[in-house]
């Protein structure tokens, strides 16, 4: 409510006056998740193939390490503290968890539901704990309702739909787990938002039984109403805005720049993951090769076995590092790649509201001009046809124009209030989103750096142990008396 109050503090001047120059320039029994049910027909959609940079792209490291550089996590990473203090967990009064995915197979479709557990101390809830099951379409409905009710507030994205392309992508546990994490994160974004979390749609999503949720979903705007909104939005985008405030122009420019940078970083990270996976596969082949070699090379048997063991241990550490990249860093970056589309959509909707306001202000000015430049020739012509006096015809038309002007003025006032709310909402939510974004990415980068330091320290320890053992053996062989 504090955010809503702040949104309504600024009052913009009216766009109109009495002068002419005032125009501004289904439920089924759950079954366990199969390892592979790719032969079934799925109603889900999958992301398109991910684009990565070519092999020719190079990344340079500005500084090389030296022995005096402190590299341990205790001395570097763990001592780092965020500039922004995190919110006190005790202040939260709404906790949402998405877990326990279940597969449902019917004669028509195969789909997954997720358990949504809610714990809260809020008085508007009938109980302190709720447990429901929801499928992806229900999450999609919730986001649509929030977007419809708050067009200029920033809603974090859902994971994309899944498109089955032949046998390339499979409906497997990795996909289900990745989606579960994304849905969990989405709901917690909503739960932490001061406006979204207090809405009826969110409450119903968290608490309603399946039948009640279906009934509530049918109460939304109909297809024709949504189509009308789409047509108006397209018309407004074509018409454009003439006097967008500088702060929203800056937001648009920031969104474009952020989109380019986060997309580039996302692609580079995917390329690193791909090359690391290829490296890991090749590394796995070295250990067995060395082990086989040791069986037929008696003089080198011990060094070869130690080498094979060191490579196997490095493989395990590399797998852990690759898992962190794929499970933690890439999803964080991908979420904000999707966020860029959300930002642009929010700014377009704000522009559409301003375009409607400018068009209505032009219509008001046009009617005022028509009222003041009433043509006597038209009145006389009309008088000759209907047998009424010119003054009577003129007064009738003026009365009609005054009614139209009053109706347009009322609509203009509503549009002004709507734009004022939309501007203040976006202004406040933009600041909030940037703070969350910076904290998220900062945390992701620090965790990645911490993980990389630990990875290289462990690999270094493995090879130092191997080197120490071989040197000790070599020294022992030198001291052997062969006489």
**What are the residue boundaries of the structural domains of the chain, listed by start?**
1-10+26-48+89-216, 244-477
Nearest to 116 by CA among 213, 199, 221: 213
Query: DSSP code of 51?
Result: P
Query: DSSP code of 163?
Result: B
- Residue-wise pLDDT for 20-55, tens only, equals 444 344 444 444 444 444 344 334 443 333 333 333
Contact 325, 269 (CB under 8 A): yes
d(CA 135, CA 432): 29
Angle between helices 330-372 and 246-294 (to 10 degrees): 160
CATH number given to 244-477: 1.20.1270.60
pLDDT > 70 in the chain, percent: 69
Q: What is the DSSP string of 344-410?
A: HHHHHHHHHHHHHHHHHHHHHHHHHHHHHT--HHHHHHHHHHHT--HHHHHHHHHHHHHHHHHHHHH
Task: Order across the sheet with 129-135: list the strands.
Answer: 94-105, 110-120, 129-135
How many other C-beta atoms are found inside a 10 Å radius of the C-beta of residue 369? Answer: 10
Q: Which two tokens stand for residue 230?
A: 């789409």
How many other C-beta atoms are found inside a 10 Å radius of the C-beta of residue 234? Answer: 11
State residue 443's pLDDT score.
95
* Residue that wins the pLDDT comparison between 11 and 290: 290
Angle between helices 200-207 and 136-149 (to 10 degrees): 170
| Phi, psi at 320, each rounded to 5° | -65, -40
Task: Indicate if the pLDDT at residue 467 is higher than 80.
Answer: yes
Confidence tier at 59 by pLDDT (50, 70, 90): very low
Confidence tier at 239 by pLDDT (50, 70, 90): low
- Residue-wise pLDDT for 276-313, tens only, equals 999 999 999 988 898 888 888 888 888 889 999 999 99
Q: Domain 1-10+26-48+89-216, CATH 3.20.20.70 — does that match?
A: no
- Token pair 């022992």: residue: 476
Task: Indicate if the pLDDT at residue 107 is higher than 70.
Answer: yes
Residues 6+ apart with CB under 8 A from 422: 151, 152, 349, 350, 353
CA 400 to chain centre: 50
> How many alpha carbons fall within 13 Å on the CB side of residue 214?
6
- Residue-wise pLDDT for 134-192, tens only, equals 999 999 999 999 999 999 999 999 988 754 443 334 467 888 898 999 999 999 999 99
């Amino acid at each position: 409510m504090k955010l809503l109050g702040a949104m309504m503090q600024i009052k913009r001047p009216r766009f109109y006056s009495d002068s002419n120059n005032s125009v501004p320039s289904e439920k089924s029994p759950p079954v366990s998740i199969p390892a592979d049910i790719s032969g079934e027909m799925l109603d889900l959609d999958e992301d398109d193939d991910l684009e990565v940079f070519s092999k020719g792209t190079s990344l340079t490291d500005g500084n090389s390490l030296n022995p005096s550089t402190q590299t341990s996590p205790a001395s570097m990473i763990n001592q780092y503290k965020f500039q922004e203090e995190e919110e006190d967990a005790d202040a939260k009064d709404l906790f949402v968890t998405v877990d326990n995915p279940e597969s449902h197979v019917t004669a028509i479709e195969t789909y997954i539901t997720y358990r949504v557990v809610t714990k809260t101390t809020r008085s508007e809830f009938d109980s302190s704990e709720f447990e429901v099951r929801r499928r992806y379409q229900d999450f999609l409905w919730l986001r649509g309702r929030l977007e419809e009710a708050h067009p200029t507030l920033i809603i974090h994205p859902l994971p994309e739909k899944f498109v089955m392309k032949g046998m390339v992508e499979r409906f497997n546990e990795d996909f289900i787990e990745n989606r579960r994490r994304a849905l969990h994160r989405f709901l917690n974004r909503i739960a932490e938002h001061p406006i979204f979390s207090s809405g009826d749609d969110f409450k119903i999503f968290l608490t309603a039984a399946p039948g009640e949720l279906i009934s509530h979903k049918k109460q939304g705007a109909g297809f024709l109403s949504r189509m009308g909104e789409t047509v108006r939005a397209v018309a407004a985008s074509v018409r454009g805005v003439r006097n967008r405030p500088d702060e929203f122009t800056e937001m648009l420019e920031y969104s474009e720049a952020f989109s380019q940078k986060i997309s580039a970083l996302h692609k580079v990270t995917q390329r690193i993951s791909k090359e690391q996976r290829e490296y890991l596969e090749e590394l796995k082949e070295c250990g067995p090769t060395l082990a086989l070699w040791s069986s037929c090379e008696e003089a080198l048997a011990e060094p070869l076995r130690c080498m094979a063991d060191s490579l196997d241990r490095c493989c395990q550490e590399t797998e852990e590092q690759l898992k962190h990249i794929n499970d933690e860093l890439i999803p964080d970056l991908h979420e904000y790649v999707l966020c860029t589309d959300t930002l642009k959509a929010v700014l377009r909707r704000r522009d559409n509201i301003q375009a409607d306001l400018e068009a209505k202000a032009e219509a008001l000015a046009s009617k005022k001009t028509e009222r003041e430049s009433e043509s006597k020739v038209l009145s006389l012509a009309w008088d000759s046809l209907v047998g009424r006096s010119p003054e009577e015809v003129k007064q009738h038309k003026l009365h009609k124009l005054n009614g139209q002007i009053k109706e347009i003025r009322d609509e203009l006032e509503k549009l002004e209030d709507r734009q004022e709310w939309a501007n203040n909402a976006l202004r406040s939510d933009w600041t909030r989103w940037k703070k969350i974004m910076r904290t998220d990415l900062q945390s992701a980068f620090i965790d990645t750096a911490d993980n990389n330091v630990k990875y290289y320290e462990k690999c270094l320890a493995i090879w130092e142990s191997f080197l120490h053992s071989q040197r000790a053996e070599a020294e022992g062989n030198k001291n052997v008396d062969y006489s």
